[in-house]
Structure 1
Amino acid sequence: MTEYLLLLIGTVLVNNIVLVKFLALCPSMGVSKKLETAIGMGLATTFVMTLASVCSYLMDRFILISFGIGYLRTLSFILVIAVVLQFTEMVVRKSSPALYRPLGIFLPLITTNCAVLGVALLNTNLPHNFMQSIV
């Protein structure tokens, strides 16, 4: 458990995906005019990134590697991200219509957010187990 806590702290403070790898700078700045909208977009992106990492890890380990079709990794991860994003959009629309109104135009842009795809691809290239890929 301590290993996962250290990994989480290292990810947030030391290996921050925006500050270190310079992924997702545009969306990070695009909705940061209002604090509520920026927090909502950050939470939505984090939610999509976490679910996409889980689904991408499972797809890579159990489908792509098993059938020897690892060359379809990027395409399949983009499809996974699109499906997860549609799920997230439905959840946000139902649970918080007030948050959905300002985020509505930006939510589909998470699909093209390079950080979401970047995290999914980095997780498959690094020797992480399932729990480490979630953190």
Structure 2
Amino acid sequence: MNVFLWIVAAVLAATFLGSGAMKLLTSTEKLTTLGLGWAEDVGTGMVKAIGVLELLAAAGLTLPPLLGIAPVLAPLAAIGLVLLMLGAALTHLRRKEPQGIAVSLTLAVLAITVAWGRLGPYPFGA
């Protein structure tokens, strides 16, 4: 189960590393043309803030346990991602975007799995 949780955390980290970097490095107008219509609804500042949160979550999922420094931050980062993805799902629901809802909820379930496993029966070092 430890390997499974590492794989899920790594997939989440890679996903949000790319997503967060894209939000920080791409203009809101370009994001909108790439299919992220919600970006124009929330404005540039919010898009950049979400990008920063996604990058922090990606780092938090992997770096603390890899470095052996406060590994409890990994499941806390996962919980942060759950909250972020629930907000994303609500945004997609409001915009009537079923595919966005499905993706957001899938990522939330993966993050819940990491948080549950690491805070519960499979903590680091066990």
**TM-score, normalisation: structure 2:** 0.35
Larger RCO (CA within 8 A; separation ≥ 6): 1
What is the TM-score of this pair, normalised by structure 1?
0.33
